[in-house]
Structure 1
Amino acid sequence: MYRVAVIKGDGIGPEVVDSAIRVVNSVTDRIRFYEFEGGFEVFKRIGSPISEDDLKEIRKMDAILFGATTTPFNVPGYRSLIVTLRKELDLYANLRIIPDLSNGKEIVIVRENTEGLYARDGIGFSDRAIDFRIITLEGARRIAKFAINLAKERNSFITFVHKANVLKGDRFFREIVLEIAEREGVEVREAIIDSFMIKLVKNPWDHGVILTENMFGDIISDLATIHAGSIGIVPSGNYGDEIALFEPIHGSAPDIAGKGIANPIGAILSAAMMLDYLGLNGKVVWEATRRYVRYGNLTPDMGGTATTSEVTKGIISEIYSFDPFDIDEIWVEEIRLGRIPLTLWR
């Protein structure tokens, strides 16, 4: 039995995480979920976005499923929960997959997750404010290895996006990436961040595994969502050596919270990534979601009129919609597959 910590957060977080859990439970009974509190409301009570006792328990889990939290501006001492978790759990690799679900394409982005401008809090004076951009040897090496191993698994190449023509930190990062890639026999194509953003808009599908530092990766992945049709369908995984956290990249969207129209697909696909991480097979969830997006009614952010619950039920229905062997249940790698499409066996 796998133990998964759940932090639903606020805004639409609880709604989409509940959808993801329903989908996971429709394909496996090998996961037990444990809910924890975190975010600004917790900070107001204890002065931290998550308690030390909860962090201690979460470290014992096999994975984390995270929703979304609101990060207020200008609150002294407050740091967002997700940034806190990335630092505390050393989740150094952020993998964001921007899918075109209708056409079977995707943009793959590996973002360094714990350094850069997000490495530490800045300082402010009466006449200036200073943020620190930090890139370390250890940080650069391990994110480079993560991206290069992913490229090898996908039989692909690396597009390393940087500003090494201006920034010393990027020159340092670049040398490490090129050295490791050469040793591992993986091709690296370089791109300056400015011109790459134009390429990403015009030709998004031909960049292999995109590797970049923290803030660049944040901006690139948000821009890339235009090719998915909505930021609401984009999943991500935050990986460390001991544990991983999975979350949709959309925010808490308080303007639609409670209305029942939040897009659950980003959370559902994040859960699919979690299944893969746990050694289970998330492919069936991806395939069911692709089929639903092609033919089903979608939430308003994707031009439809469906509710969160309707989309969730539709994806679960797709999971069980095919039965090529005319049997009720098949188990593959500890995943229960009911009425799966024949294409998954090829």
Structure 2
Amino acid sequence: MYRVAVIKGDGIGPEVVDAAIEVVNAVTSRVRFYEFEGGVEVFKRHGVPITQDDLEEIKKMDAVLFGATTTPFDLPGYKSLIITLRKELNLYANLRIIPDFTDGREIVIVRENSEGLYSGQGRAFDDRAVDVRLITREGAERIARFAARVAKERGSFITFVHKANVLTSDKFFRRIVLEVAREEGVEVREAIVDSFTIKLVRNPWDHGVILSENLFGDILSDLATIHAGSIGVVPTGNYGDDIALFEPIHGSAPDIAGKGIANPIGAILSAAMMLDYLGLDGSRIWNAVRSYVRKGNLTPDMGGTATTMEVTRGIIQEIHDLDPFDLDELWMEEVRLGRIPLRME
């Protein structure tokens, strides 16, 4: 039995996480969910977005399923819950898969998740503010090896996106990425970040596994969602050596919270990535989502009129229609450690 921590968050977070749990429960009885609280309300009571006791319990889990939380600008001392979790759980690698459900293509982006301008080493003075763009050898090596493993798993190459023609930190990062790629036997193609944004808009599907540092990866992966039809369908995984956290990349969307129209697909596919990470097979969920999107009524962000639950139940019906056998009879070998959790075809 796999133990998964659940942090639903606020806004539409609880709605889409509930949908993802319902889909997981439709394909397996081998995952048990444990709910934890985190976010602004916890901060108001305890001065932190998640308590240390809960963090220690979460570290004992096999994975985390996360919804969405709001990070207010006007709450002094508040630190983002998701950034806190990435730091506390040492989730250094971010993998985003942007799907094209029409043609079965994907944009795959690996983002360094712990350093760069998000290192948290900035300072503000009376007349200036400084943020530190931190790139360490350890951080560069481990994200380069992660990207190489993803590329090998997919039979692909790496497109390394940087600004090494200007930034000293990217010159350092580039040298390490190329060293690791040579050791791993993976082809690396290079691109300068500003010109690459144009390529990502015009021709997004031919770049293999895109690798970049934290800020550039954040921007590129959000930009790439335009090719998925909605940011609401894009899943992501945050990986460390001992645990991983899975979340849809959309925000808390308070304007539609409680209306029952949030797109659950991003959370559902994040749960599918989680099953792969656990050594189970998430492809049944991916195939059901692809089939449903092609013929089913979608939520308003994708031009439809369906509710969150209607889409969820439609995907579950596709699961049953596509494969009437019990998934528990069809397990892959359950080996989690050392395995990159990619969608299996």
TM-score over 0.5 for the alignment?
A: yes
Asked if 1:49 corresponds to 2:49, the answer is yes
**The residue matched to 1:75 in structure 2 has which SS?**
coil
- 1:277-296 pair list within 5 angstroms: 277-296=277-296
**The residue matched to 1:197 in structure 2 has which SS?**
helix
Asked if 1:213 corresponds to 2:188, the answer is no
What RMSD over aligned residues (CA atoms) do the two structures have, in Å?
1.6
Residue identity in the other structure for 2:171: R
Between the aligned partners of 1:299 and 1:270, the Cα distance in structure 2 is 18
Count of residues paired in the alignment:
336
Unaligned runs of 5+ in 2: 334-343
Instruction: Assess, with a 3 A threshold, how the Cα gap between structure 1 residues 14 and 323 changes in structure 2: closer, same or farther.
Output: closer
Residue of structure 1 equivalent to 2:237: 237
Instruction: Assess, with a 3 A threshold, how the Cα gap between structure 1 residues 328 and 209 changes in structure 2: closer, same or farther.
Output: closer
- 1:1-346 pair list within 5 angstroms: 1-322=1-322, 331-333=329-331
Between the aligned partners of 1:104 and 1:236, the Cα distance in structure 2 is 18
Between the aligned partners of 2:213 and 2:74, the Cα distance in structure 1 is 26
Between the aligned partners of 1:287 and 1:144, the Cα distance in structure 2 is 29
Please state how far the C-alpha of 1:121 moved relative to its aligned partner. Answer: 4.4
Please state how far the C-alpha of 1:322 moved relative to its aligned partner. Answer: 3.6
8 Å CA contact 1:30–1:334 kept in 2: the answer is no
Please state how far the C-alpha of 1:189 moved relative to its aligned partner. Answer: 0.3
8 Å CA contact 2:28–2:328 kept in 1: the answer is no
Instruction: Assess, with a 3 A threshold, how the Cα gap between structure 1 residues 292 and 5 changes in structure 2: closer, same or farther.
Output: same
8 Å CA contact 1:92–1:238 kept in 2: the answer is yes
Between the aligned partners of 2:157 and 2:326, the Cα distance in structure 1 is 41
Please state how far the C-alpha of 1:323 moved relative to its aligned partner. Answer: 5.4
Please state how far the C-alpha of 1:124 moved relative to its aligned partner. Answer: 1.2
Please state how far the C-alpha of 1:75 moved relative to its aligned partner. Answer: 2.5
| TM-score, structure 2 as length reference | 0.95
The runs of at least 4 consecutive aligned structure 1 residues that moved more than 2 Å come to 327-330
After superposition, give the CA deviation of every residue in 1:255-306 in whole Å (9 maximum; x if it has no partner).
0000000000000000000000000000000000000000000000000000
Unaligned runs of 5+ in 1: 336-344
Instruction: Assess, with a 3 A threshold, how the Cα gap between structure 1 residues 48 and 320 changes in structure 2: closer, same or farther.
Output: same
Between the aligned partners of 2:106 and 2:180, the Cα distance in structure 1 is 25
Residue identity in the other structure for 1:287: N
8 Å CA contact 2:288–2:322 kept in 1: the answer is no
Between the aligned partners of 1:47 and 1:309, the Cα distance in structure 2 is 35
Please state how far the C-alpha of 1:129 moved relative to its aligned partner. Answer: 1.2
Between the aligned partners of 1:108 and 1:179, the Cα distance in structure 2 is 22
| TM-score, structure 1 as length reference | 0.95
Task: State percent identity of aligned pairs.
Answer: 76
